[in-house]
Amino acid sequence: MKAVDIASILSGKYTDERVLIRGWLHNMRSSGGIHFLLIRDGTGIIQCTMKKNTVKDEIFKEAKDLTQESSLEIIGSVREDKRAPRGYEIKVEDMKVFHRAEEGYPIAKKYHGPDFLLDNRHLWIRSQKMQTILRIRAKFLEAAREWFKANGFVEFHSPTIITAACEGGATLFPVKYFDREAYLTQSWQLYAEAAIASLGKIYTIAPSFRAEKSRTRRHLTEYWHLEVEIPWCDLKGIMKVQEDLLAYILDSLCEEMPGELEYLGRSPDELRRMKPPYERITYDKAVKILNEEGIFFKWGDDITWTHEKILTERFNKPFFITHFPKNVKAFYHKPDPERPKVTLSADLLAPEGYGEITGGGQRIDSLEELLERIKEEGLNPEDYKWYIDLRRYGSVPHSGFGLGVERTISWICKLEHIRDAIAFPRLINRVYP
Ligand code: NSS
Percent share of the chain, pLDDT over 70: 100
Domain with CATH 3.30.930.10 in the chain: 122-421
**Alpha-carbon gap, residue 55 to 179, rounded angstroms:** 67
Domain with CATH 2.40.50.140 in the chain: 6-99
- What is the band of 207 on the pLDDT scale with cuts at 50, 70, 90? very high
pLDDT of res. 433: 98
Q: Do 88 and 81 touch, CB atoms closer than 8 A?
A: yes
Which residues, 6+ apart, have CB-to-CB distance to 45 below 8 Å? 6, 26, 38, 39, 85, 86, 128
Please say if the pLDDT value at position 110 is more than 90.
Answer: no
Query: What is the β-pairing status of strands 88-99 and 45-51?
Result: parallel
Q: Do 156 and 192 touch, CB atoms closer than 8 A?
A: yes
Q: Do 363 and 390 touch, CB atoms closer than 8 A?
A: no
Strand partners, 133: none
Please say if the pLDDT value at position 155 is more than 90.
Answer: yes
Q: Which long-range contacts (CB under 8 A, 24 or more apart) does 246-251 make?
A: 246/276, 246/318, 246/348, 246/408, 247/275, 247/276, 248/143, 248/146, 248/147, 249/140, 249/143, 249/144, 249/147, 250/274, 250/412
Pick the CATH number of 122-421 from 3.40.50.10470, 3.30.70.580, 3.30.930.10, 3.40.50.300: 3.30.930.10
Please say if the pLDDT value at position 109 is more than 90.
Answer: no
pLDDT of res. 214: 84
Please say if the pLDDT value at position 85 is more than 90.
Answer: no
- Which of 82-91, 176-185, 350-359 is least confident? 82-91
Cα–Cα nearest to 218, from 414, 359, 402, 355: 355
Strand partners, 50: 35
Most distant CA atoms of the chain, gap in Å? 85
**Alpha-carbon gap, residue 106 to 197, rounded angstroms:** 53
Q: Which tens digit of pLDDT belongs to each residue from 228-283?
A: 999 999 999 999 999 999 999 999 999 999 999 999 999 999 999 999 999 999 99
Strand partners, 398: 231
Q: Is the Cα dihedral 175, 141, 219, 424 positive or negative?
A: negative
Q: Which residues line ligand 1 (CB under 6 A)?
A: 166-167, 186-187, 189, 210, 212, 219-220, 223, 225, 227, 356-360, 400-402, 404, 406-407
> How far, in Å, is the centroid of ligand 1 from the Cα of 402?
6
Q: Do 339 and 358 touch, CB atoms closer than 8 A?
A: no
Please say if the pLDDT value at position 76 is more than 90.
Answer: yes
The pTM of the full predicted model, rounded to 2 decimals, is: 0.97
Please say if the pLDDT value at position 341 is more than 90.
Answer: yes
Please say if the pLDDT value at position 108 is more than 90.
Answer: no
- Mean pLDDT value of segment 373-394: 98
Q: Which tens digit of pLDDT belongs to each residue from 117-129?
A: 999 999 999 999 9
- Mean pLDDT value of segment 48-72: 96
Residue among 308, 358, 363, 412 to mutate when testing ligand 1 (max atoms within 8 A of CB):
358
- What is the band of 32 on the pLDDT scale with cuts at 50, 70, 90? confident
pLDDT of res. 262: 98
- Write down the H helix ranges in 151-205: 189-199
- CATH topology for 6-99? OB fold (Dihydrolipoamide Acetyltransferase, E2P) (2.40.50)
